[in-house]
Amino acid sequence: MKEHYFICYDAGTNGNFVASLIRTMADSTYYDKYGRFTSNGSCDHMSGGMRLSYDYAFSKFGHSIYPECEENLSILTGALENPEDTYEKFIMPHERSFDFDITALHYVRSNSINKFLEYNTKVVYITYTHQDLNLIAHNYTYKLIEKEREGELDKFNFFKQILADAYRFESLRKLEISIQEKIPLSDLSQSILDDIIFAYKKELIVKNSFKDYNLIKNNDPKKFIELPFRLMYSDTEKTLELLQNFTNMEINDSTRILYSDYMSAQEPILNRIKNR
């Protein structure tokens, strides 16, 4: 059975980017052949990190493995016990040459991570602080509204939920009108987007207050590492060195090019924050 990397992260903290970096470290030709991300830098397709969490889960159960709960966790661990008859069927031909599988998913509770670590796995846990929330919320929101992303109705429904939870009822009303009039997400008004960003920050604050990763039992550095979100922006070399030491794979030119291209794609998001 192949080793399985889990990138455990909250939406907006670059989980699929990290998965893609690991791919390029294992195969220096991967980015040239299969590297593509959206204009704002979404790496969801390039990473190949959703074969278990989306492709298999939707095919078998008709839904994703969210929210993070015991029932959905059992789906994941059940697949880990029998990969050949579950998610491996959905791995793309060009991904089969790797001697590992990789899943990037929004599972961040200690119970989930402790379960993953019982198997032949390695876990990269992306952490963040209160100071990171603004960038994370902008990062997530602007990636979701890109035209080339699929699942528009699901995104509308998510935005409706967090706007209601944050009591942004005027933006919720306008959003519902946009749904009725079939206005694409990419054409939403700035006032609605600002309220979505506010609402997602509020959700992250609540979610972060329940984080308990200090209860992770197996903190063997060969099995588990924490990767600070802010480090990805402040220190490229330290980020790559951390991943290199954890994976025992070499950093190569392709890895560095991907890193540079991704950060360039992040510039519009960073500039929006600076100019607000």
Yes or no: say if 99 and 81 are a contact pair by the CB < 8 Å rule.
no
Q: What are the tens digits of pLDDT across the range 40-84?
A: 778 888 999 999 998 998 888 888 888 899 999 999 999 999 999
- Is it the case that residue 145 has pLDDT exceeding 80? no
Place of tokens 């946009």: 178
Peptide bond into 67 cis (omega under 30): yes
For the chain, state the CA radius of gyration. Answer: 18
Q: What is the percent of the chain where pLDDT is above 70?
A: 90
List the strands of the sheet with 3-8, edge to edge.
100-105, 3-8, 121-127, 224-228
> pLDDT by residue (tens digit) across 80-139?
999 999 999 999 999 999 999 999 999 999 999 999 999 999 999 999 988 999 999 999
This prediction's pTM: 0.90
In the chain, what are the domains?
A: 3-133+209-274 (3.40.50)
